[in-house]
Structure formats: C-alpha cells, structure tokens
C-alpha cells in the first residue's frame, strides 16, 4: 500500500508535457528519429532483397569466389550488416544517453511541479 | 555407447539443480522471481538471451536443414539474426523503460484497461504454449534417439526439471541455466566447426567445392530453391522471422532482468554477436554433416534431419564427442523450456491474477504463491499437450509462434511507443485480429491439411496455400490496430502520450 501511494505521489509531481516541450527533449527525439528511421528502412530493404532476389531470379546463382556464389556472399553480408549496425547503434546511443542525462537534470532543477 | 552420454546428462542435471538451489535463496519476492531483481549485467543477460533464443530447433533443426537442403536452410539463420536489429533499434529500450514484469505491463503503462492487459496476456500464453509444445515434442523424440529413453519418460524428465528451475529458482535459476547452456552450445558448435574445417584443410573454397558432389542434389545444393519453391511463402517466412523475435514474450521479459535501458541495449549487442557467430557456424555443421555423414544416413536417423549435428559429432569425434553434443542438445532444450514456462506463468500470475482478478490489491506473499502455482499449472498443461501430440508433426508450431508474435504483439508495441493517436480500441482490435488471423490461416494451411494421408494432421486440400501466414497476418494486425483506432470515438489522450514518450525515451520515473 505504501508503495502505491509513493508512486502515485511521484506520478503527479512530474509534468511530462513540459518535458516534451523542452528543447533538449525535442533535440533527443529529432536525433533518434534521424538515426533510427533511415537505418531501420535500410536494414529491412537489405534483408528482404535476399529472399526476393533468390525467389524471383537466378542472378545470385552465378559464382563469385570460386564455387561460392553471390547468394552466399549476400547471405554473409547480412551478418556483417547486422554486426555493423549493432556497433553503430551502440556508438550513437552513447550520445543519446548524454542527452537523456541532461533532460533528467533539467527535469530535476526545473522544479516541474 | 550410451553410457557416457547418460553420465553427461546426469552432470547437466546436477549442475542445473545446484544453480537452482543457490538461486532459490534469492527468490523470495516477486521482483526476484520475475526479473532476478533486475540484477543481471549486460554480459550475463546477453548470454542468457542467446541461451533463451538458440533452441534445439536452431541447433539441430537448422544444421539438418542445411545438410539436406543447402542454402535454403541458411535462410533461417539469417532471419533469426537480423531480427535482433528490430529488437535493438525499436523495442528493447522503450520496453525496459515502460514495463515491469511482463510485456502486458508495457501496454498497460499507456492503456490502463483490463481488456487490453487481458488480451496481451492471452497472446503471451498462446505464443509461449505453441513454442513449448514444439520444444517438448522435439525433446521427447530427441532424448529417445540419443539415450534410448522412452518418449513419455523423456517428456516427463524435461517437464519436471523445467518446473523445478522455475518454481524454486525463478528468473535467477532460469537465467543461469540459459547462460551455462549458451556457453556449452558455443563450445560444442565451435569444436565441431573446427574439426570440419580441418577435414577441408582450412579452406572454405574446398568445402564448397566438395559439398557440390556430396549430396543427391549435386550442384543445386548450393543454390536457393531446394526447400522453398513458392516465392511468396519464402518471403512470408522471412517476414515472420525478422519481425517475430521482437514480439516473443520469453525474449522480451529478459530485458527486465537488467537495471536500465542502456544495460538492456548492451545485452542485445552482446547477444547479437554470440547468436551471429553461432548461426555462421551452422554452415559448418550442415556442410560437415552433408559431406561426412551423408544424406542417406541423416534421413534414416530422422526424416527432418534433426540428427545431423549429433551424427556429425559421432563421425568426427567418436562416442565422446557424440555424448558431449547430445548433452549440449539436452541442456539447450532445458534452458529454452524454462524461459517459456516463466513467460507464460508471469502472464497468468502477474497479469491475470494480480492485476485483473485482484485489481492490484494482492499482497506480495499472495502474488508469490500465485506465481509458483501458475508455473506448475503451465508446466503440467504443456506436458499433457506434449504427450498428446507425440505422433503429430508439430515443428510448424515454432513458425506459428513467430507469426503470432509478429502479427499480434509487434504492431501494438510499435504503436504504443510511437503513435500519439493510438487508443484502447485499436490495441484490442490489433491484438485480436493479429492472433486469430495467424491461427486461422495456419489452421487452413498445408501444415494441417494434406490430401496425402500422414503428410499432415488432417486429410484434405488446404484452403490457404502458404505454410507461413506472416505475409497476410502481419499486415492484418497493423491494419486492424489502425482501423480500430480511427473508428473509435475515443479522444486522443495527449497528456498520457507525453508521459509515455518521456518514460520510453528517458526512463524517468521508473
């Protein structure tokens, strides 16, 4: 019961709308959108290109390196792509974390009651 | 010959029970039971995600599919891995910030409505149960092949063990069983892969050249199209693979075991590296089995190819390696089913009992009792279903679980975080349409119906021609959520969405 009251109190003490209107929060949302949206589209297109190409054509069946065809190279490229985008995301997310820290700081100081 | 394998099985059982004993001392509160008190590090959770995810279907199933069908088997490896980009980019951090114990918590953070929570919990239970039946039926058959123990006893052994882990050790025991399994699986797969490479003089080119003549498919073995003939079905499968993971409840609850969103992110990155390396190695397992075990022997042991990896171990390393790989497969099954029991039980106990039935008024002690009984209930139900399904080919239940996850869960998760206009009606229609369209399409699919007696469960022409419903059911789930939202007269709650936006993106007021 005590926990419920506590969270209820906290609940009312933070003005979320005010935070969403702050420039630091809007900056975070813009930065995230600019990063996440294009890259998500990219990896989805990159991913579906493989089954679409192998299902509707034979272009990937031609040999690339010795007996290894382009289909296999494209398949391996999916792994490289996934690891690269993972690493890229964790690098960028470090910036997001800094921005979040600032927003938290402002929310605390701003006395958003 | 089975003596050593049996001994290693006993060691694994003993090890997991010791883990459970120590975990039980730290499983007294609901937070400890459901999330190990959010005490795991990024590395630990990364390994546990990998252990939760790489099922026997991955280890044995994909190795077998690559051995028998070449390139097409590898489609699964790719889809299962790229799916983690969806998890990382879209789902993991907001989920950690908004949820507490279950996926339904996250949706309920925005829509505090019993119906929404109830249906979300129902979806979790449906997905986890389908997945579990497939795992248990596979486990029963597998242990029978490996150890010669009867199917019924095999299912009972696995069933009793998973119940013990979850009931006594909760998330702490489940996590550590998954971590141990992930390490064992990586070690086992790595050893076989190196041995396969040695046989090919460390030349991948030589390996590709030799498998061209090793199978009945000849050169076609290396080309796509041996298993998946229908382009639409192939794309449908890939769609469910890549979008389904981000909606699988037993994976999603893993993000509550770490303290915050940055740690959740780290754990996905570690998991992606581990899972990626594993799936690359499935090529060596598959090609190795094709070359050194041979098509006829693989099919003779199991028509679906599930014995390819253990047989390859036997061919390369004799009885000792065979016993070790069999033990690894056993550990793999245990780790996955434990995670599934926990996810279904949390939906029953936390969502249905604590929130809906008791309206959040249950005491901590009552909630713990409910959580433990729910785990026992889920386990018994799954064991009974698995015993009943012994003679059925239930491998398709895994793809069904992925399809339901992508069609019913993913649209709601995405819209809850990103769409201001989204409302209760949209959440309900999206989840119901997503669930039932996937279920019905699978019911009318070639998985269930075949004109040939014995090829599927029922005899007759399938009304729906695709084996994978994703390409129809996933858009339906999204569209239903949108239409439900737009048709409803509910006004958009800007204040609530602002709160969700801030919480999801910053973790403030957790």
Listing DSSP states for B366-410 in one string gives HHHHHHHHHHHHHHHHHHHHHHHTTTS--THHHHHHHHHIIIIIH
In the structure, what pLDDT confidence band is assigned to residue A9 with cuts at 50, 70 and 90?
very low
Residue A12 covered by a domain: no
Determine contact, residues B437/B472, Cβ cutoff 8 Å.
yes
| Closest residue, chain B, to A104 (C-alpha) | B508
Q: How does DSSP classify residue A112?
A: -
d(C-alpha A45, C-alpha B447), whole Å: 29
What spatial distance separates the first Cα and last Cα of chain B, rounded to whole Å? 55
Determine contact, residues B398/B134, Cβ cutoff 8 Å.
yes
Q: Token match 């279950």: residue?
A: B102
Residue A48 covered by a domain: yes
Yes or no, beta carbons of A100 and B78 under 8 Å apart: no
> Mind giving me the DSSP string for B343-371?
HHHHIIIIIIIIIIISTT---HHHHHHHH
d(C-alpha A69, C-alpha A3), whole Å: 61
Q: How many CA atoms lie within 13 A of B141 on its CB side?
A: 25
Q: Token match 């895994």: residue?
A: B398
CATH code for the domain in which residue B488 is found: 1.20.1730.10
Query: For chain A, how big is the Rg over CA atoms in Å?
Result: 23
Yes or no, beta carbons of B272 and A83 under 8 Å apart: yes
Mean pLDDT of A2-13: 47
d(C-alpha B6, C-alpha B306), whole Å: 20
Total structural domains in chain A? 1
- Chain B hits for A28, CB-CB cut-off 8 Å, are 505-506
Determine contact, residues B236/B468, Cβ cutoff 8 Å.
yes
Q: Which domain holds residue B75?
A: 2-506
Residue A1 covered by a domain: no
Yes or no, beta carbons of B501 and A16 under 8 Å apart: yes
d(C-alpha B25, C-alpha B137), whole Å: 32
Yes or no, beta carbons of B273 and A89 under 8 Å apart: no
B175 alpha-carbon distance from chain centroid: 14
B92: exposed, middle or buried (Cβ count in 10 Å: 0-12, 13-18, 19+):
buried
d(C-alpha B394, C-alpha B459), whole Å: 16
Chain B segment 266-285 residues within 8 A of A by beta carbon are 266, 268-269, 272-273, 276, 279-280
Position with higher pLDDT, A13 vs B375 = B375
Task: Give the CA distances from residue B54 to residues A80, B58, B231, B251, B269, in Å, rounded to whole numbers and listed in that order.
Answer: 20, 6, 26, 11, 16
SS3 at position B112: coil
Determine contact, residues B136/B382, Cβ cutoff 8 Å.
yes
Residue whose C-alpha is closest to residue B470's, from B448, B504, B437, B421: B437
d(C-alpha B315, C-alpha B308), whole Å: 10
Backbone phi and psi for residue B449, each to the nearest 5 degrees, phi listed first: -110, 135
Total structural domains in chain B? 1
Q: Which domain holds residue A74?
A: 30-59+69-113
Determine contact, residues B116/B428, Cβ cutoff 8 Å.
yes
Task: Give the CA distances from residue B198 to residues A110, B206, B290, in Å, rounded to whole numbers and listed in that order.
Answer: 65, 11, 16
Determine contact, residues B63/B303, Cβ cutoff 8 Å.
no
- Tokens coding B199: 């046989």
The count of residues in chain A is 113
d(C-alpha B381, C-alpha B358), whole Å: 24
Q: Which residues pair with B449 in a beta bridge?
A: B458
Residue A22 covered by a domain: no
Determine contact, residues B425/B491, Cβ cutoff 8 Å.
no
The count of residues in chain B is 510
Q: Is the four-CA dihedral B203, B206, B210, B212 of positive or negative sign?
A: positive
Determine contact, residues B109/B421, Cβ cutoff 8 Å.
no
Give 10-residue mean pLDDT values along chain B (510 residues): 81 94 90 90 95 86 90 91 95 92 91 90 93 87 81 92 93 94 94 94 88 85 86 91 94 94 95 96 94 91 86 92 89 91 91 86 86 92 89 78 94 94 93 95 88 81 88 96 92 88 84
- Tokens coding B143: 């242990």
d(C-alpha B472, C-alpha B198), whole Å: 45
Give the one of A69, A83, A97 whose C-beta lies nearest to B222's C-beta. Answer: A69
The distance of A48 to chain B (nearest Cα, Å) reads: 8
Would strands B449-450 and B458-459 be described as parallel, antiparallel, or unpaired? parallel
Yes or no, beta carbons of B234 and A44 under 8 Å apart: no
Q: How does DSSP classify residue A64?
A: E
In the structure, what pLDDT confidence band is assigned to residue A4 with cuts at 50, 70 and 90?
very low
Task: Give the CA distances from residue B307 to residues B7, B53, B140, B312, in Å, rounded to whole numbers and listed in that order.
Answer: 20, 20, 13, 8
Chain A segment 32-61 residues within 8 A of B by beta carbon are 32, 36, 39-40, 43-44, 47-48, 50-52, 54-56, 58, 60-61
C-beta neighbour count of A52 within 10 angstroms:
15
- Chain A hits for B71, CB-CB cut-off 8 Å, are 54, 71-72, 75
Q: Does B459 touch chain A (CB under 8 A)?
A: no
d(C-alpha B174, C-alpha B171), whole Å: 5
Q: Token match 């949390």: residue?
A: B346
pLDDT at B288: 94
- Chain A hits for B270, CB-CB cut-off 8 Å, are none
Summarize pLDDT for B188-234 with one digit per residue, the tens. Answer: 999 999 999 999 999 888 888 888 888 888 888 888 888 888 889 89
Backbone phi and psi for residue B25, each to the nearest 5 degrees, phi listed first: -70, -20
Residue A79 covered by a domain: yes
d(C-alpha B470, C-alpha B270), whole Å: 28
d(C-alpha B94, C-alpha B499), whole Å: 12
Cβ neighbours for B344, distance < 8 A, ≥ 6 positions apart: B124, B125, B128, B129, B132, B249, B374, B378
Determine contact, residues A73/B267, Cβ cutoff 8 Å.
no
Helix B2-24 with B114-147: angle, nearest 10 deg: 150
pLDDT at A111: 55
């Amino acid at each position: 019961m005590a926990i419920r009251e506590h969270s209820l109190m906290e609940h009312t003490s933070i003005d979320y709308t005010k935070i969403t209107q702050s420039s630091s929060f809007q900056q975070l949302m813009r930065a995230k959108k600019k990063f996440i949206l294009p890259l998500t589209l990219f990896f989805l297109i990159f991913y579906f290109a493989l089954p679409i190409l192998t299902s509707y054509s034979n272009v990937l069946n031609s040999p690339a390196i010795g007996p290894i065809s382009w289909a296999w190279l494209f398949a391996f490229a999916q792994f490289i792509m996934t690891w690269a985008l993972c690493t890229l995301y964790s690098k960028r997310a470090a910036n997001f974390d800094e921005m979040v820290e600032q927003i938290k700081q402002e929310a605390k100081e701003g006395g958003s009651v | 010959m089975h003596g050593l394998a049996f001994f290693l099985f006993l060691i694994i059982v003993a090890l997991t029970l010791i883990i459970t004993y120590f975990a039980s001392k730290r499983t007294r509160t609901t937070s400890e039971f459901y999330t190990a008190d959010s005490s795991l590090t990024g590395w630990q959770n990364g390994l546990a995600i990998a252990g939760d995810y790489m099922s026997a279907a991955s280890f044995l199933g994909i190795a077998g599919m690559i051995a028998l069908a070449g390139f097409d088997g590898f489609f699964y490896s790719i889809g299962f891995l790229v799916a983690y980009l969806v998890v990382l980019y879209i789902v993991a951090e907001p989920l950690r910030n908004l949820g507490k114990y279950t996926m339904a918590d996250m949706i309920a953070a925005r829509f505090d409505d019993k119906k929404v929570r109830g249906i979300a919990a129902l979806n979790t239970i449906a997905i986890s149960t389908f997945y579990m039946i497939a795992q248990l039926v596979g486990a029963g058959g597998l242990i029978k092949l490996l150890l010669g123990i009867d199917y019924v006893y095999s299912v009972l052994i696995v069933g009793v063990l998973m119940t013990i882990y979850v009931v006594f050790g909760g998330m702490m025991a489940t996590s550590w069983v998954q971590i141990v399994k992930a390490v064992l699986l990586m070690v086992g797969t790595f050893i076989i892969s190196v041995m396969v490479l040695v046989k090919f003089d460390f030349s991948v080119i030589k390996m590709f050249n030799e498998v061209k003549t090793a199978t009945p498919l000849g050169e076609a073995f290396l080309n796509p199209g041996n298993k998946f003939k229908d382009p639409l079905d192939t794309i449908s499968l890939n769609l469910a693979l890549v979008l389904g993971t981000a909606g699988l409840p037993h994976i999603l609850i893993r993000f509550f075991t770490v303290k915050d969103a940055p740690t959740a992110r780290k754990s996905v990155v570690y998991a992606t590296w581990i899972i990626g390396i594993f799936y690359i190695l499935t090529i060596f397992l598959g090609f190795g089995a094709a070359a050194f075990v041979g098509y006829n022997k693989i099919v003779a042991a199991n028509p679906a190819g599930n014995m390819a990896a253990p047989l390859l171990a036997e061919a390369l390393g004799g009885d000792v390696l065979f016993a070790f790989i069999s033990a690894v497969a056993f550990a793999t099954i245990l780790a996955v089913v434990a995670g599934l029991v926990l996810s279904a039980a949390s939906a029953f106990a936390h969502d249905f009992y604590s929130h809906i039935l008791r309206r959040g008024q249950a005491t901590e002690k009552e909630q713990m009792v409910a959580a433990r009984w729910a785990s026992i209930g889920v386990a018994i139900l799954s064991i009974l279903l698995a015993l009943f399904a012994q003679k059925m080919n239930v491998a398709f239940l895994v793809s069904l679980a992925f399809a339901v996850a992508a069609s019913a869960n993913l649209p709601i998760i995405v819209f809850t975080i990103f769409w201001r206009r989204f409302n209760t009606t949209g959440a309900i229609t999206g989840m119901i349409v997503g669930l039932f369209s996937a279920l019905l399409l699978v019911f009318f699919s070639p998985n269930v119906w075949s004109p040939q007696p014995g090829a599927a469960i029922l005899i007759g022409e399938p009304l729906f021609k695709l084996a994978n419903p994703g390409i129809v059911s996933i858009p339906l789930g999204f569209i239903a959520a949108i239409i439900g939202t737009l048709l409803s007269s509910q006004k958009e709650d800007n204040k609530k969405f602002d709160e969700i936006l801030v919480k999801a993106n910053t973790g403030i007021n957790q």
